[in-house]
Chains A and B, each alone.
Chain A
Amino acid sequence: MSRAPIASDLDLCLCHTCGLACDVRDDPHECERCGAPLHRRKTNSMARTWAYLLASLVFYIPANLLPVMNTTMLGSGADSTIMGGVLEFWQHGAWDIALIIFIASVAVPGIKFGALTLLLITVQRNSVWARRERSRLYRFVELIGYWSMLDVIVVALVAALVKFQALGDIEPRLGILFFGLVVVFTMLSAMSFDPRLIWDNDTLRGNPPNEEVMDEVASH
C-alpha cells in the first residue's frame, strides 16, 4: 500500500480548531472557515514546551516538600504532604485509595516529565527511532494530562467540609498551590508540543533526494 501524501506536499495545512484542511498557497494567516490562526507547525513549539516543562519541574519540588494540608483534631495539629497522605492510607489498609492517589499525584506527573523530555530530546536529535510509538506516547501524555488535579480537588472538598473549629479543622496549605501549578504547566507543556515534529525529518533521511545529489556530484 502506498503511503498517504503529506499535507505540506499538497500545500495544505490543518486547522487545529475546526479540523479543516486549509489551502495555504496564498499564505493565509487565518482559517477561512473558523477564523482561528493558522500555522503549519505550532509556533516555537520546542522552546515553549521546554519552558513549561522546566517551570513545572521547579514547582514539583515545593509541591512535594511543602505540606498540602493541615489537620487539627481536638487541639493537636499536623501538616501532611502528598506522599504522607498516600502512606497514611496504605498503613490503614486502604491500599486501593492509596494507589489511586499515588497514581494521580506522583506517577502521572512523573510519567509526564519523563515522556515529554524523551519526546523533546528525540525530536531535537532528528531521531527516526520508534516514531509510531513516540506518537502513541504523546497521545497518552495528552490523555492522562489532567488527572493530577485529583489531589487539589480532594483537599478542597475535605477542607470545605471539616470546619468544626476546636473539634476538628482542615486547612489547605501552600503545597497545594505548587501542586496545582505543576498540573497546569505540564498541561500547557503537552499542548505546546507539536507531535508532527516527530515525523518531519521523514524526507531528510534515507530518501532519494540525497542520493540524487550524490549521483549528480559523481557524474560531474
Chain B
Amino acid sequence: MATTDPLIICEHCDCVYEKVMLGKHQKTLCTRCGGVLQRYNGLTVEQRLALAYTAAVLWAFANFYPVMSISLQGLKNSATLWDSVLALSHGPITFIAMVAAIAMIIAPLFQVLLLIWVLSYALAGQRSPGFRFCMRWLETLRPWSMLEVCLLGAMVAVFKLAGMLDVLPGIGLFALAVLSLMMIRIAGRDIRELWDIL
C-alpha cells in the first residue's frame, strides 16, 4: 500500500504524522505524548556495514581473550565471558547461565551476523534472502543484548576484586568496551530505515 508509506504512527499514543526529512542532530517528537517519532540517522549503508565487520572482529576479541586476570600469592587465573557463563551453570541455577549467555554472547553475535548479512545485500541495493526474517529477529534480539551492562559489570568486578588481590584488565575488557558502544550505534532502531530504501 503505497499511500500509507509517508505516514508515521507514534508507538506511545497512536497519533499519526507525516514523515519529514531531518537534518543533523534533529529528531521529531510527538506533540501529544512527547515520544520520539524519528531520529536523524547519520550512517550510510556502507558505513554501517564497515562498522558491523569491525564489531564482528571485536566480538571475537571480547570472547576469545580473557576479560581480566587475577593473581594471588603467585597463583594466576583469568576468565573469558564464556568462563563466567560456565561459572553460573553449576547446580540449580543453570537457567541463569542461559540468560547470561544470551545477554552477553549469543544475542550480540546474532545481531552482528544478521547485520552483516542484511547490509551486504543492501550495499548492492537488494533485499537479502530471508530479509523479513532477519529484520524481525534484529528487532526481537535488541532488548536482550546487554553488552553495556556487561561492560559496567566487568568494571565493577575489577573494583570488587582489587580490594583483595591483584587484578589486571585483559584485552577482552577493552574489546568489550568498544564493542558495546559500537552496538548502540549500529544495531539501534534506525536499521528500520532499510525497509524504506530497499
A positions within 8 Å CB-CB of B: 1, 3-8, 10, 12-14, 16-23, 32-36, 73, 89, 92, 94, 97, 100-101, 104, 131-132, 135-136, 138-139, 145-147, 149-164, 167-168, 171-174, 176-177, 180-181, 184, 187, 191, 195-196, 198-199
Contacts and interface: CB of A to CB of B under 8 A. Distances in A.
Contacts of B136: 17-18, 34-36
A153 B12 contact: no
21 contacts: A6-B14, A12-B16, A18-B136, A21-B5, A89-B160, A94-B159, A135-B34, A139-B12, A146-B143, A154-B160, A156-B85, A157-B67, A158-B157, A172-B90, A172-B93, A173-B93, A180-B95, A196-B12, A196-B13, A196-B14, A198-B33
A164 B72 contact: yes
A12 B6 CA distance: 13
Contacts of B8: 19, 21
A80 B13 CA distance: 44
Contacts of A146: 103, 143, 146, 149
A5 B18 CA distance: 11
B47 interface: no
Interface of B: 1, 3-5, 7-17, 30-35, 67-70, 72-73, 75, 77-79, 83-88, 90, 92-93, 95-97, 99-100, 103-104, 132, 135-136, 139, 143, 146, 149-150, 152-154, 156-157, 159-161, 163-165, 192, 195
A160 B84 contact: yes
Contact of A162 (B12, B77, B143): B77
Contacts of A101: 156
A21 B35 contact: no
B4 A21 contact: yes
A93 B38 CA distance: 44
B70 A162 contact: yes
A10 B7 CA distance: 11
A7 B153 contact: no
Most A C-beta atoms less than 10 A away, residue of B97, B132, B154, B157: B157
